[in-house]
Chain A
């Protein structure tokens, strides 16, 4: 079984809809991250969390919110989706001993 899982893997939605992307991990890591990837733009950090009570905005948090329901679960919400949120979204984890991040398989989101 994969250590970091994301659901759904693909989603097509319409402008104005609320969307939730979910991430679960079995690596036992405290730190979790949400990124979006657009063609030619690498990975941009949306939100990150170092433990259940710690949530931090990344460089592009506007239009997004997150919830850290448990150490192993970190969800990303788009309250009212817009077309420029069409992107590939990755969840990642790491622990405090190493800077290496482990990525989920990604969610491809299309907002029409």
Chain B
């Protein structure tokens, strides 16, 4: 059974802090790992990672994948209150086309 575990489950920080969110997985036939951000509505896509060691970056957010150790991290620098959300990690396996999601990390950024 495919498994995706995110940690921590929740995190409270202050504006300006840097945070690291973790996603580990145990799947057969890995194809890709995706990060989504969910505010009080539908999840929206952040990054898709398929190769180890290649950082994806968008503004203050960045992510990297380690296919040997089977994990990914999502970094957010200089956090803002608008970063408060649930961050979801999902893994797609080859030939299945469907995603297995972790339980998410709830990030709260206080002013």
Interface residues of A (CB under 8 A from B): 31, 33, 35, 40-45, 48, 50, 56, 58, 90, 94, 96, 98-106
Contact = CB atoms under 8 A, between A and B. Distances in A.
A104 B102 CA distance: 19
Contacts of A58: 98
Contacts of A102: 45
Nearest to B103: A42
Contact of A99 (B9, B31, B42, B101): B31
A100 B34 contact: yes
B88 A99 contact: no
Interface residues of B, number: 22
Interface of B: 6, 9, 31-32, 34, 41-45, 48, 88, 90, 92, 97-104
B98 to A, nearest CB: 5
A44 B42 contact: no
A29 to B, nearest CB: 12
A90 B44 CA distance: 12
A104 B103 CA distance: 19
Contacts of B92: 99
A110 to B, nearest CB: 17
B98 A43 contact: no
17 contacts: A31-B97, A40-B9, A40-B104, A42-B6, A42-B88, A43-B43, A45-B98, A56-B98, A94-B97, A98-B48, A100-B48, A101-B34, A101-B45, A101-B99, A103-B43, A103-B44, A105-B41
